[in-house]
């Protein structure tokens, strides 16, 4: 009788900003999908979040039990690396507790991969040993997002702060290209931006954003009146500005053509500025438990962003649900291949209003719209990232081991 050798599950330590089990926004949805795909692939996964606890955490790793002097030195290196970035965007994500816990994991298992989500957490890479594999999943080119925000904001103070942070985050991203074994972007646009920082010396792989089965299974039941939805985290500054622009600049032109139109701003933690936009034709839905039926009932979904980075999961989700989308060029970054009858790109208020009312009149076929998203299921879009994470830690990348 032949006994097959026991293959040890690959060990992965995943670090992210906040708990992702509720999948409240684009970042948490992406991280949750990555965690699922890693477990499906057989990885022994231990996840950490800087803010809040993860429910599946082993209680034995919480606290100071088993912390050594070398672990404390490692945590100090993370602090020093964070301070050296001169970025408030980075410093606010430093956690002594998390640095100690990951240092302990790194010390206990030499054959692991450290997967870091979000560029602001890049300084934690100093915890890894030379023989351990390190992967950074960027989510956005943060320096570009901040530069876009600086160009769009009307506040001189916020513009100055955003420009400084853009400069600081560009330094963080440039350093990450040299320090990590693999860097992952969510679009070819983002990959090109990152590669330009290293003058082409480092290749950045692409693992696009995607969506889950619930969106593809959404029932088509449009509202009786022409309904537009903007689904987003309504407390995030770029989304707040987008909502204000949509209501103040675009919506009056839409109403002149279709007085019966209705606009829904839906998402978590709406800012006071968003709540103030409510009117007889504009409603705000806060902290919606299930966004699928809200988007599926809308005649048109929108992504009116004036400052953006990465790719908008909300566009992919709406298309998968069969709902056409009108977006600014920045909102549709990385998804330009979808542009056509079901994804219209419009940048001025007049163009945006015309696109919305055109879709009221000439609504594209529901299933044809949904077909555009067929290649954006998480299992497919994340395949290259999962492969990169599960390679042997000694795998050579761009001449580095």
Residue-level pLDDT at 55: 55
CB 116 within 8 A of CB 125: yes
User: What's the alpha-carbon Rg for the chain, to the nearest Å?
Assistant: 22
Query: Which of the two residues, 255 and 334, has the higher pLDDT score?
Result: 255
Structure tokens, 253: 């032109």
CB 292 within 8 A of CB 220: no
* Band of residue 66 on the pLDDT scale cut at 50, 70, 90: confident
Distance CA 22, CA 162 (A): 29
Residues 6+ apart with CB under 8 A from 275: 284
Q: Which of 21-30, 87-96, 148-157, 229-238 has the highest mean pLDDT?
A: 87-96
pLDDT at residue 56 tops 70: no
- Residue 387 C-beta-side C-alpha neighbours within 13 Å: 9
In whole numbers, what is the pLDDT of the chain averaged over residues? 89
* Band of residue 309 on the pLDDT scale cut at 50, 70, 90: low
The CB density around residue 175, as the number of other CB atoms within 10 Å, is 17
CB 335 within 8 A of CB 319: no
**CA of residue 227 relative to chain centroid, distance:** 26
pLDDT at residue 238 tops 90: no
> Which residues pair with residue 16 across a beta bridge?
49
Query: Which of the two residues, 285 and 221, has the higher pLDDT score?
Result: 285
* Band of residue 7 on the pLDDT scale cut at 50, 70, 90: very low
CA end-to-end span of the chain, whole Å? 39
At residue 272, the 3 state secondary structure works out as helix
CB 254 within 8 A of CB 336: no
- Residue 79 C-beta-side C-alpha neighbours within 13 Å: 11
Residue-level pLDDT at 198: 84
Residue-level pLDDT at 62: 42
Length of the chain: 401
Query: Which of the two residues, 153 and 75, has the higher pLDDT score?
Result: 75
pLDDT at residue 239 tops 70: yes
pLDDT at residue 78 tops 60: yes
Alpha-carbon separation of residue 28 from 14, 33, 49 (angstroms)? 13, 8, 11
Q: What is the DSSP letter of 268?
A: S
Distance CA 355, CA 341 (A): 10
């Amino acid at each position: 009788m032949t006994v097959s050798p026991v293959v040890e599950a690959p060990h992965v330590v995943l670090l992210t900003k906040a708990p992702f089990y509720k999948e409240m926004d684009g970042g948490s949805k992406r991280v949750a999908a990555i965690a699922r795909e890693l477990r499906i692939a057989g990885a022994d996964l231990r996840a950490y979040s800087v803010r809040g606890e993860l429910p599946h955490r082993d209680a034995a790793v919480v606290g100071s039990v088993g912390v050594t002097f070398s672990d404390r030195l490692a945590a100090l290196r993370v602090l020093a690396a964070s301070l050296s970035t001169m970025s408030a965007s980075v410093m606010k994500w430093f956690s002594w507790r998390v640095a100690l816990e990951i240092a302990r994991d790194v010390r206990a298992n030499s054959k692991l991969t450290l997967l870091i989500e979000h560029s602001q957490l890049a300084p934690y890479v100093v915890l890894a040993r030379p023989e351990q594999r390190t992967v950074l999943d960027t989510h956005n080119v943060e320096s570009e997002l901040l530069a876009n925000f600086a160009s769009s904001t009307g506040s001189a103070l916020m513009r100055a702060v955003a420009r400084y942070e853009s400069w600081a985050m560009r330094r963080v991203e440039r350093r990450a290209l040299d320090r990590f074994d693999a860097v992952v972007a969510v679009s070819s646009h983002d990959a090109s931006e990152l590669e330009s920082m290293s003058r082409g010396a480092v290749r950045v792989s692409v693992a696009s954003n995607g969506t889950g089965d619930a969106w593809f299974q959404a029932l088509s039941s449009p509202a009786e009146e022409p309904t537009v939805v903007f689904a987003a985290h309504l407390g995030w500054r770029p989304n707040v500005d987008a909502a204000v622009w949509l209501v103040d600049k675009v919506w009056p032109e839409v109403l002149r053509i279709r007085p019966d139109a209705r606009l829904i701003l839906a998402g978590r933690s709406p800012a006071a500025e968003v709540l103030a936009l409510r009117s007889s034709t504009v409603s705000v839905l806060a902290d919606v438990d299930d966004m699928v039926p809200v988007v599926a009932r809308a005649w048109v979904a929108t992504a009116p962003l004036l400052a953006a980075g990465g790719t908008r999961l909300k566009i992919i989700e709406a298309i998968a649900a069969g709902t056409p989308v009108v977006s600014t060029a920045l909102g549709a970054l990385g998804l330009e291949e979808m542009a056509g009858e079901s994804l219209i790109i419009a940048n001025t208020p007049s163009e945006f209003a015309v696109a919305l009312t055109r879709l009221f009149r000439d609504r594209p076929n529901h299933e044809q719209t949904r077909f555009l998203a067929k290649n954006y299921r998480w299992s497919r879009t994340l395949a290259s990232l999962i492969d990169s994470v599960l390679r042997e830690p000694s795998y050579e990348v761009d001449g580095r081991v």
